[in-house]
């Protein structure tokens, strides 16, 4: 139908006869002339209707009408340097209205601030907005870049089932009832973990898949109930091999999509150091403000707030004058939501000290803190992990308050040496920190000192977001049995829940490992949006609803009966 897209015509096309298709973006009636901007996914072309029947016909055009036009390319009198086609316009002599449009409930423009609820209800219109289309086009480019690297490295793109069995140790499963087997349920995959390991057992050696995963968990701005993973697994490799491959994927993607050259050597930090200095296992290092241990400093100073506390740590904040007492109270409320007991502070204003614990320190002790003018020390007492987590949240809040984060910078960091297990005192048992198929760094530690056992696991962090995580897997059945036993599973439970997998390990399983990228989160970072919904075509709301499809929804009683399900009336 068309001869050109709406970003192609330039001054070089003057005098050519062209055919264009698209949506009417906006119209302008100047009396003797009628203008319309024609939009498609590539750009905009200005149309001019000058006289006669075509001029009269153009007056019926409204926003979002779908049209086809023919005309001659002419030079534009009032040029627009912001458009690729800004030097020309098309003098239209033929117009066909392919479809009319009602007044849309949202304005199709990058400049409009539309309520998220309205955007999601009319997502098919929201996706006409150029900015929204760009997010998904960038997503496409990222996927193709990743796929090309992996295929060129000898990886096979293989699929795994969506209907599997529910297994413990993860987030809540989405369950699918079976009509053929009443009372039994499939589970949608939280990841293809077991299946991809079975590909390694089967001898494929190099596997990848760009696949949907499902987790029934509380949502945040960077989390959805269904999400997409770039899932990778390989045999006869170690941590360095997988990490090098992941770096190659990131470098290639940033180069292809953003035309940005990324340094080939990513930094590494241990889990303990990440927690100690940044208060999180996904540090944002685009600004300084490291956490410092003040436990020894306050050991012999009588501060009632710190008495009997095993750990005292803090951060030094510039621009102390920004923080009024009201703002410090706001910071206190934030850290208390993260289980911290209290927030103490000391300010230096031209050598005059003030703050909640200043009265407990003498001049020498205050001077030894080495606070410069207009600096403030924020301190939290308590247990190491609780204090670190709270300071991590506090550090990010202060960085936002003082605009310390360089949004044009990308920081790439590997976090390694994670604990293999974590102990739940309420349940009086261990849980796998990553998953129960992660290989310990030292099998003897798993056997004799599980609290201190480290995992052969690694996370890739970009700008404070975990974008990829993986591990070397257990490939020997006796080590896998030991892991299950340490997690408290009986022989009967192991056989019932993982029997097929444990059996598979007995038939010559190679050493193997892998990594999974969160594609949605990676696209979110590359496109510099702060909401994961922007980069997913049809996302859910914060309470896991699809407003456009009105899902989840009630179903007919006959459908429930076929599935042997009865819905309780108790709410």
Give the tens place of pLDDT for each residue, 64-122: 999 999 999 999 999 999 999 999 999 999 999 999 999 999 999 998 889 999 999 99
- Tokens standing for residue 519: 């594609």
Beta partners for 438? Answer: 473
- Model confidence at 203, pLDDT cuts 50, 70, 90, reads very high
Residue-level pLDDT at 169: 59
- Tokens standing for residue 237: 């490799």
- For the chain, give percent helix, strand, coil, nearest 5: 30, 25, 45
Q: What percent of the chain has pLDDT over 90?
A: 89
How far, in Å, are 10, 34, 43, 50, 266 from residue 15 at the CA level? 11, 20, 21, 16, 54
Task: Show the beta-strand stretches assigned E in 297-454.
Answer: 311-318, 344-349, 352-355, 375-382, 412-416, 421-424, 429-432
Compute the distance between CA of residue 423 and CA of residue 170 in angstroms, rounded to an integer: 15
Compute the distance between CA of residue 343 and CA of residue 41 in angstroms, rounded to an integer: 52
Length of the chain: 571
Residue 222's nearest CA partner among 515, 519, 458, 459 is 519
Residue 467 in contact with residue 525, Cβ under 8 Å?
yes
Residue-level pLDDT at 221: 63
Residue-level pLDDT at 425: 87
- Model confidence at 31, pLDDT cuts 50, 70, 90, reads confident
- Tokens standing for residue 31: 């009396």
Q: Which helix or strand (DSSP H or E) is residue 34 part of?
A: strand 34-39
Compute the distance between CA of residue 541 and CA of residue 120 in angstroms, rounded to an integer: 8
Residue 342's nearest CA partner among 373, 306, 311 is 306
Neighbours of 355 (CB within 10 A): 19
Residue-level pLDDT at 498: 87
Strands 88-99, 44-49: pairing is parallel
What's the average model confidence in pLDDT over 195-215?
96
The pTM of this model reads 0.91
How far, in Å, are 102, 164, 479, 492, 500 from residue 506 at the CA level? 64, 22, 11, 18, 10
Residue 323 in contact with residue 355, Cβ under 8 Å?
no
Flag the least confident range among 89-93, 484-488, 491-495: 491-495
Angle formed at CA 128 by CA 124 and CA 133, multiple of 5 degrees:
105
Half-sphere exposure of 431 (CA within 13 A, CB side): 13
Q: Which residues contact 444 (CB under 8 A, 6 or more apart)?
A: none
Round the average pLDDT of the chain to a whole number and report it: 94
Q: Which residues contact 86 (CB under 8 A, 6 or more apart)?
A: 76, 79, 80
- Model confidence at 148, pLDDT cuts 50, 70, 90, reads very high
User: Is 502 a residue whose pLDDT tops 60?
Assistant: yes
- Tokens standing for residue 167: 């297994």
């Amino acid at each position: 139908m068309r001869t050109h897209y709406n970003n192609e015509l330039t001054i070089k096309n003057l005098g050519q006869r062209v055919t264009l298709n698209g949506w009417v973006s906006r119209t302008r009636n100047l009396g003797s002339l009628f203008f319309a901007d024609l939009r498609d996914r590539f750009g905009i072309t200005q149309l001019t209707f000058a006289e006669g029947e075509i001029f009269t016909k153009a007056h019926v055009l409204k926003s979002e009408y779908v049209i086809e036009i023919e005309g001659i390319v002419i030079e534009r009198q009032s040029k627009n340097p912001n458009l690729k086609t800004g030097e020309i316009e098309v003098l239209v002599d033929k117009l066909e209205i392919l479809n009319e449009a009602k007044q849309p409930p949202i304005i199709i423009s990058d400049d409009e601030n539309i309520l998220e609820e309205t955007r999601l209800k009319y997502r098919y219109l929201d996706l006409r907005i150029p900015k929204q289309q760009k997010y998904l086009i960038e997503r496409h480019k990222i996927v193709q870049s990743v796929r090309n690297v992996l295929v060129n490295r000898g990886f096979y793109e293989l699929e795994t089932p969506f209907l599997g069995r529910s297994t413990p140790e993860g987030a809540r499963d989405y369950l699918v009832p079976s009509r053929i087997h009443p009372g039994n349920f499939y589970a949608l995959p939280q990841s293809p973990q077991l299946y991809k390991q079975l590909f390694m057992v089967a001898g494929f050696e190099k596997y990848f898949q760009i696949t949907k995963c499902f987790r029934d968990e509380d949502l945040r701005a960077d989390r959805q109930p269904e999400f997409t993973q770039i899932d990778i697994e390989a045999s006869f490799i170690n941590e360095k091999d997988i990490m090098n491959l992941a770096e190659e994927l990131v470098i290639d993607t940033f180069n292809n999509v953003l035309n940005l050259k990324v340094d080939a050597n990513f930094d590494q930090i241990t889990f303990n150091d990440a927690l100690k200095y940044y208060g999180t296992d996904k540090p944002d290092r685009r600004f300084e403000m490291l956490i410092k241990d003040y436990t020894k400093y306050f050991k012999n100073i009588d501060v009632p707030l710190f008495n009997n506390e095993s750990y005292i740590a803090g951060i030094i904040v510039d621009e102390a004058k920004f923080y009024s007492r009201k703002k410090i109270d706001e910071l206190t409320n934030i850290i208390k939501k993260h289980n911290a007991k209290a927030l103490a502070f000391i300010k230096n204003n031209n050598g005059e000290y003030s703050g909640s614990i200043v009265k407990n320190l003498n001049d020498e002790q205050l001077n030894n803190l080495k606070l410069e003018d207009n600096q403030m020390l924020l301190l939290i007492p308590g247990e190491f992990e609780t204090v670190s987590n709270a300071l991590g949240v506090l550090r990010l809040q202060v960085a936002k308050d003082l605009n310390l984060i360089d949004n044009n910078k990308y920081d790439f960091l590997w976090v390694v040496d994670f604990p293999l297990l974590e102990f739940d005192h309420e349940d009086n048992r261990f849980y796998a920190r990553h998953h129960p198929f992660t290989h310990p760094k030292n099998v003897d530690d798993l056997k004799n000192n599980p609290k201190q056992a480290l995992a052969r696991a690694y996370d890739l962090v970009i700008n404070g977001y975990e974008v990829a995580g993986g591990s070397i897997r257990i490939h020997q059945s006796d080590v896998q049995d030991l892991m299950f036993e340490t997690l408290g599973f009986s022989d009967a439970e192991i056989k019932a829940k993982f029997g097929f997998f444990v059996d598979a390990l007995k038939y010559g399983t190679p050493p193997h490992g892998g990594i999974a990228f969160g594609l949605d989160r990676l696209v979110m970072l590359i496109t510099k949006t702060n909401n994961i919904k922007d980069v997913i075509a049809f996302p859910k709301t914060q309470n896991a609803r699809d407003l456009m499809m009105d899902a989840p929804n009630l179903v007919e009683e006959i459908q429930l009966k076929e599935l042997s399900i009865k819905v309780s009336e108790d709410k």
